[in-house]
Every structure is written in C-alpha cells, then in structure tokens.
Amino acid sequence: MTLTNTRSLYQLIDMQNQALCPYHDTLLNVCNASLSFIVIDGTRHASYCSSDNFDNCALFLSKTLRKK
C-alpha cells in the first residue's frame, strides 16, 4: 500500500466517523488544538481523537478555553 493510498484510506475513515475531534489532522497526525502542533501518540489517538470522547481531552479543552 502506498502512502497516497494510506492517506486516502484515512480520509475515508474520517468521513465515515463524524465523532472525530475537529482539531486532529489525520494526514500529519498532529493536534491543531495544541499551541505546538504536537504529534499524537497511539494512546491519545485511540482514547480521544478517533472517538466521541474528544471533549474530555486536555488539549481540546485548553483550546476551547483559549477561544473565550
């Protein structure tokens, strides 16, 4: 499987799952809610980014608070 095919597969999965975190960049695997755009580890990704539990993530909550 090529890199392009892998990216397309992740985009398809993301489109099917509407409960993903809006700040997670699946192509780069970084968190856009973070000030430093940190790379997401597997544990955080499974627990928060790819589930409807993203609103319990500390990075998501801090981004939300910074907006106010």
DSSP per-residue string spanning 14-67: HHH-TTS-TTEETTTTEETTSTT-PBPPHHHIIIIITSTTGGG-HHHHHHHHHH
pLDDT (0 to 100) of residue 32: 92
pLDDT (0 to 100) of residue 61: 92
Please report, for the chain, the start and end positions of each structural domain, with discontinuous segments joined by +.
3-67
Under-70 pLDDT residues of the chain: 1-19, 68
pLDDT (0 to 100) of residue 37: 86
pLDDT (0 to 100) of residue 68: 64
pLDDT (0 to 100) of residue 57: 92
pLDDT (0 to 100) of residue 26: 84
